[in-house]
Chain A
Amino acid sequence: MIRVRALRKHFDVHERPPGVAAAFRSLFRRQTKRVTAVDGIDLDIAPGERVGFLGPNGAGKTTTLKVLSGLLHPTSGEVAVDGHEPRRREDAFLKKIMLVLGQKQQLLWDLPPAETFELNRAVYDVPREQYRATMRELTELLELGDLVNKPARTLSLGERMKCELAAALIHRPRLLFLDEPTIGLDVSMQAVVRDFVKRYNEQNGATLILTSHYMEDVARLCPRVVVIDRGQIVYDGALEALVERTRPDKRIVLRFAREVDARDLESLGQLVRHGAGESVLQVPKDAVNGVVGRVLAELPVSDLTVESAPLEEVMSEVFARGRGSR
Chain B
Amino acid sequence: MAGEPLPTSTPPSGRTSREPSRARATAVASRYARYARLLRTQIRASLLLGLQYRADFVLDATVNVFWTGAAILPLVIVFQSRASIAGWSFGEALMVTGWFTFLEGVLDGAINPSVADVVDHVRKGTLDFVLLKPADAQFLVSTTRLQPWRATNVLSAVAIFAWGFHLLGRAPTPGAVGLATLSMLAAVAVLYSLKTLAVSAAFYFVRVDNLTHLFDSVFDAARWPSNIFRGVVSVVFTFVIPLALMTTYPAEALLGSLPIRSLFGALGGAVVALTLSRAVWNRAIAHYTSAGG
> B124's closest neighbor in chain A, by CB?
A104
Q: Are A94 and B132 in contact (CB under 8 A)?
A: yes
Q: Decide yes or no: A71 and B49 within 8 Å by CB, A104-B126, A119-B41 being known contacts.
A: no
**B52 contacts chain A at the CB level, 8 A cutoff:** yes
**B292 contacts chain A at the CB level, 8 A cutoff:** yes
Q: Are A89 and B41 in contact (CB under 8 A)?
A: no
Kindly identify which residue among B41, B132, B286 contacts A118, using a CB–CB cutoff of 8 Å.
Answer: B41
- Considering the chains assembled together, what is the distance between the CA atoms of A91 and B151 in angstroms? 33
Interface centre among B52, B126, B132, B290 (most CB of A within 10 A): B132
- Considering the chains assembled together, what is the distance between the CA atoms of A91 and B291 in angstroms? 22
What chain B residues lie within 8 Å of A151 (beta carbons)? 52
Q: Are A99 and B132 in contact (CB under 8 A)?
A: yes
Contact with A along B39-72 (1 / 0, CB 8 A): 0011011001100100000000000000000000
Segment at the interface with B among A48-56, A120-128, A265-273: A120-128
Looking at the assembled complex, report how far the CB atom of A196 sits from the nearest CB atom of chain B, in whole angstroms: 20
Q: Are A12 and B291 in contact (CB under 8 A)?
A: yes
- Considering the chains assembled together, what is the distance between the CA atoms of A249 and B289 in angstroms? 45
**B125 contacts chain A at the CB level, 8 A cutoff:** yes
Q: Decide yes or no: A119 and B42 within 8 Å by CB, A97-B132, A99-B128, A104-B129 being known contacts.
A: yes
> A95's closest neighbor in chain B, by CB?
B134
For the side of the interface on A, what is the size category? 20 to 34
Q: Which of B168-204 contact A (CB under 8 A)?
A: none
What chain A residues lie within 8 Å of B124 (beta carbons)? 104
**B251 contacts chain A at the CB level, 8 A cutoff:** no
Q: Decide yes or no: A122 and B41 within 8 Å by CB, A70-B132, A94-B133, A104-B128 being known contacts.
A: yes
Overall SS of chain A's interface: mixed
Q: Decide yes or no: A104 and B125 within 8 Å by CB, A12-B291, A87-B289 being known contacts.
A: yes
**A264 contacts chain B at the CB level, 8 A cutoff:** no
**A282 contacts chain B at the CB level, 8 A cutoff:** no
**A76 contacts chain B at the CB level, 8 A cutoff:** no
Q: CB within 8 Å of B: which residues of A?
A: 11-12, 63, 66, 69-73, 87, 89, 91-92, 94-95, 97-99, 101, 104-106, 108, 110-111, 115, 118-120, 122-125, 151
Can you identify 29 A-B contacts, CB atoms within 8 angstroms? A11-B293, A63-B293, A66-B128, A69-B132, A71-B128, A72-B289, A72-B292, A73-B289, A89-B131, A91-B134, A92-B134, A94-B134, A98-B132, A101-B125, A101-B128, A104-B128, A106-B126, A108-B45, A110-B52, A111-B49, A115-B45, A115-B48, A118-B41, A119-B41, A119-B45, A124-B133, A124-B134, A125-B34, A151-B52
Known A72-B292, A101-B125, A124-B133; 20 more pairs at CB < 8 Å:
A72-B290, A91-B135, A94-B132, A94-B133, A97-B132, A99-B129, A104-B124, A104-B125, A104-B128, A104-B129, A106-B129, A108-B45, A110-B52, A111-B45, A118-B41, A119-B42, A122-B41, A123-B140, A125-B134, A151-B52
